[in-house]
């Protein structure tokens, strides 16, 4: 489901369109256009008379301009002056945003072969690696110095790494930095084990890792834990957790100039989220966090 479907949905317009705002835009547009036409009438004539367009044409053009100015915005940005950092929410596909480093949630065993094609980590594997085995080789190389314990998942013995483990990968060819973040454990059947504390701990580890080992590029992160990790809390709460932990991480060291939280268009439509509320939260978040 693409971004355009979300843009033209009733959900987007219901939350963003306000008649009072539309009317003010229309009056402003009508006034400007009418003033311009009155002024131009002194310099342009038709059959010896001052040129004047149709009143209905001016009204219609004003309506078009007002609708454009009142349109829903699927990308919202708020500057946190105290931290000199930009917070952004974007209804979009993660991989459509190439202007920052991607955060990819995964399980603590870094298994992916049993996950469906729509999972973010599987999309990463299929888009940027020639085969699953190549992806596994890269992961094994990055994880070789990280302590682990053995666990049994789907009848196989696997390496289980600590929650919050971060694997940094540089995608050659496009120069994209990716941080794979272990946010959940797997049960013996290979399903994500929902645990809110694991998500909190992994976020703290992520910001610490980026501050100490990462670059200073903008960070692009999905709404973690809202899909295959099976957390039974709303995306509003998860977004709040991401922002709070991020601001707390900035107290020690500024490690980026922008955090973009990406929400899938399908999730946006299915749950009818209000971006105005998220933008308002962003505006106040930095004032109440330290």
54 has pLDDT over 90: no
* 101 and 136 co-located in one domain: yes
* 226 and 279 co-located in one domain: yes
- Please report, for residues 52, 161, 177, 221, 231, the alpha-carbon distance to residue 167 in angstroms, rounded to integers and kept in the order given: 66, 11, 10, 15, 23
In a domain, 6, yes or no: no
In a domain, 9, yes or no: no
- Please report, for residues 99, 129, 168, 235, 281, the alpha-carbon distance to residue 243 in angstroms, rounded to integers and kept in the order given: 19, 31, 21, 12, 10
* 164 and 278 co-located in one domain: yes
Backbone angles phi, psi at 227, to 5 degrees: -115, -100
Choose between 149 and 24: higher pLDDT: 149
Backbone angles phi, psi at 100, to 5 degrees: 180, 180
* 140 and 34 co-located in one domain: no
In a domain, 82, yes or no: yes
In a domain, 10, yes or no: no
Domain boundary among 69, 98, 131: 69
Q: How many domains does the chain have?
A: 2
Choose between 18 and 116: higher pLDDT: 116
* 80 and 206 co-located in one domain: yes
Across the range 43-59, mean pLDDT stands at 69
* 129 and 211 co-located in one domain: yes
- Please report, for residues 40, 79, 86, 87, 263, the alpha-carbon distance to residue 82 in angstroms, rounded to integers and kept in the order given: 48, 9, 11, 12, 26
Across the range 179-190, mean pLDDT stands at 92
In a domain, 60, yes or no: yes
In a domain, 147, yes or no: yes
pLDDT digits (tens, 9 = 90+) for 192-244: 877 889 999 999 999 999 999 999 999 999 998 766 666 778 889 999 999 99
Find, among 181, 96, 186, the residue nearest to 139 by Cα: 181
Domain boundary among 69, 99, 131: 69
Single pTM value for the model: 0.84
Which residue has 């941080």 as its token pair? 179
> Domain containing 235 — which CATH number?
3.40.220.10
pLDDT for 1: 53
* 257 and 280 co-located in one domain: yes
In a domain, 7, yes or no: no
Range of the domain at 192: 75-288
* 151 and 234 co-located in one domain: yes
- Please report, for residues 112, 174, 207, 214, 253, the alpha-carbon distance to residue 256 in angstroms, rounded to integers and kept in the order given: 29, 20, 10, 10, 9
Among 32-36, 111-115, 116-120, whose mean pLDDT is lowest? Answer: 32-36
Find, among 219, 123, 229, 125, the residue nearest to 183 by Cα: 229
Domain boundary among 69, 104, 133: 69
Find, among 225, 226, 233, 235, the residue nearest to 201 by Cα: 225
* 57 and 169 co-located in one domain: no
* 273 and 157 co-located in one domain: yes
* 89 and 50 co-located in one domain: no
In a domain, 275, yes or no: yes
* 65 and 82 co-located in one domain: no
Across the range 73-85, mean pLDDT stands at 88
């Amino acid at each position: 489901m693409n971004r355009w479907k979300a843009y033209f949905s009733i959900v987007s317009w219901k939350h963003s369109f306000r008649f009072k705002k539309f009317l003010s835009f229309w009056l402003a547009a009508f006034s400007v256009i009418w003033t311009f036409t009155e002024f131009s009438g002194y310099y342009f004539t038709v059959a010896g008379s001052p040129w004047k367009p149709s009143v209905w044409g001016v009204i219609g053009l004003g309506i078009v301009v007002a609708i454009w100015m009142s349109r829903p915005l699927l990308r919202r940005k708020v500057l946190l002056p105290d931290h000199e950092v930009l917070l952004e929410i974007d209804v979009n596909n993660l991989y459509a945003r190439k202007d920052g480093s991607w955060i990819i949630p995964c399980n603590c065993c870094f298994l992916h072969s049993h996950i469906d094609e729509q999972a973010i980590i599987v999309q990463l594997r299929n888009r940027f690696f020639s085969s699953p085995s190549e992806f596994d080789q890269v992961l094994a190389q990055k994880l070789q110095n990280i302590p682990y314990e053995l666990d049994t998942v789907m009848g196989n013995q696997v390496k289980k790494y600590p929650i919050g483990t971060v694997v940094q990968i540089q995608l050659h060819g496009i120069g994209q930095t990716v941080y794979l973040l272990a946010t959940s454990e797997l049960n013996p059947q290979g399903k994500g084990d929902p645990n809110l504390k694991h998500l909190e701990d992994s976020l703290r580890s992520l910001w610490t890792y980026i501050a100490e080992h990462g670059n200073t590029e903008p960070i692009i992160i999905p709404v973690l834990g809202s899909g295959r990790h099976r957390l039974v809390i709303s995306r509003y709460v998860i977004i709040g957790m991401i922002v709070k932990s991020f601001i707390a991480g900035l107290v020690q060291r500024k490690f980026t100039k922008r955090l973009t939280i990406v929400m899938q268009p399908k999730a946006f439509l299915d749950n009818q989220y209000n971006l105005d509320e998220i933008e308002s939260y962003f505006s106040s978040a930095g004032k109440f966090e330290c």
